Amino acid sequence: MKNNKQIYALILAFLFVIPTLFAQGLFDAKNYTNASKDDNVKVISVQSDKNYKVSHLRNAIHVDLHKLYKEGKPEGVLKPANEVAALLGENGIANTNEIIIYDDGDNKAAGRMYWILKYMGVADVKILQKDMKAWRAARIPLTPAPTKITAATFVAKPNNDIFVDTQWIKANLKNNGVTFVDVRAPKEYTGADGKSPGHIPGAINLEWSTMNGAESVLRSNVEIASLLKSANINPDKTIVLYCATSVRAGLPFFVLNALLKYPDVRVYDGAMNTWSMDASNPVEK
């Protein structure tokens, strides 16, 4: 275990000296124009429908995340992989595409889409932050015109190494090798908001938005690693992220998986909404 910690420390140290985050999955606006000319690159906008209609990146495909979820309760649970694959294919997205995602600016929806695509087996997925200053400097073209869609074939290859369900949670509640991380607001975590029943026993609270700094731009690797260390979220454990629906878990997953290279990071899809439906499942406040 000690040797593993030393290895992870060396990996993190290496990451910190890289001048940009491009290689780890955060796309640089300066490189966007050239990359977007590649026919195999698909740009996905997970902006709100309203904002997409006002202005979006030229040729960006709009994906409504809600259409990827099952209907009814618990809310926010991803549809079966074959159904998600069909919807993505209808939108002109193939599992072999290189994909760049962006949202309305806080990286929450982009993070969720990142996890969905990685779960579905897409190898090359990156996030482009909606930083208008950087976009203007790079002269990234915007348009209100809808993108013409040509249907594609998306072959689902679910990656169950980044997914857990309720049975997995129950089986690992007392596993010292697992760290559960609740990324909701503190009042939701404790149940002080009057709506949440509390949290999964033993879970650490680290709100998802702390990944962002000023103007919702992601913090540096060094800053985020410091936050994680202070919260006792370490790379030598299996990290399981959740919120109410695990939408907010997407950005922390992206950060730990793509930027900091934590070796075993998973998302509890359905999350607290699913856990709290069964009164026999324990909760803490």
Q: What is the pLDDT of residue 198?
A: 97
Query: Nearest to residue 186, comparing CAs of 170, 151, 169, 210?
Result: 210
Q: What is the pLDDT of residue 17?
A: 36
pLDDT in tens, 150-173: 999 999 999 999 999 999 999 999
Residue 250 or 32, more confident: 250
Average pLDDT over residues 39-52: 96
Q: Phi/psi of residue 202, each to 5°?
A: 85, -5
Per-residue pLDDT for 90 more than 70? yes
Question: In this structure, are residues 236 and 261 in contact, taking their beta carbons and an 8 Å threshold?
Answer: no
What's 118's DSSP letter?
H
Q: What is the CATH number of domain 160-275?
A: 3.40.250.10
Per-residue pLDDT for 230 more than 80? yes
Tokens (6 digits) for 70: 């099952």
Q: Which segments of the chain belong to CATH 3.40.250.10?
A: 20-143, 160-275
Per-residue pLDDT for 131 more than 90? no
Q: Which CATH superfamily is domain 20-143 in?
A: Rhodanese-like domain (3.40.250.10)
Cα separation of 282 and 285, whole Å?
Answer: 10
Enter the pTM of the model: 0.90
Query: Who's near 169: CB < 8 A, 6+ residues apart?
Result: 180, 200, 240, 268, 275
Per-residue pLDDT for 3 more than 70? no
Confidence of residue 65 (pLDDT cuts 50, 70, 90): very high
Residues in a beta bridge with 78: 69
Average pLDDT over residues 213-218: 86
Q: Which residues of 160-179 are buried (b: 16+ CB within 10 A; e: fewer)?
A: eebbbebeebeeeeeeeebb
